[in-house]
Amino acid sequence: MNNPVPLQTVDDILRPNADANPLLDRGMVTTSLDALLNWARTGSMWPMTFGLACCAVEMMQAGAARYDLDRFGVVFRPSPRQSDVMIVAGTLTNKMAPALRKVYDQMPNPKWVISMGSCANGGGYYHYAYS
């Protein structure tokens, strides 16, 4: 199993040569734009939506104009190879489980899964359904 890469602190990224930079003593931070953008990308979640029921509508609203999660760096990705978080919204039935596992296996490491809503967490109304 791959060990997750430890996240770097802001000081490690923005101040790589703290001793060599006299501007830091005066409260100024200097860095390259590439280093700043790469640091921001390591901390942003890129979720992939796996909407199975009505909770998927709520998840879509979080990315729409009123709540706009894009401004916080949460950008929904259409492909599992581009995402690091899977949000399962809705009832996961026995028939849908192999498809979910296939999509999960395509995600790069490190990867996380969030179950959204009472149906995904405990089965909801469909806990004893035939499928």
Same domain, 35 and 55: no
For 15-54, write each residue's pLDDT tens digit: 555 555 666 666 666 677 777 767 666 666 788 877 787 7
For 84-116, write each residue's pLDDT tens digit: 888 888 888 788 889 989 999 998 888 888 888
CATH number at residue 53: 3.40.50.12280
Domain containing residue 64:
45-131
Same domain, 83 and 124: yes
The per-residue pLDDT for 13 is 56
Average pLDDT over residues 57-86: 81
Same domain, 30 and 68: no
Cα within 13 Å of Cα(6), Cβ side: 5
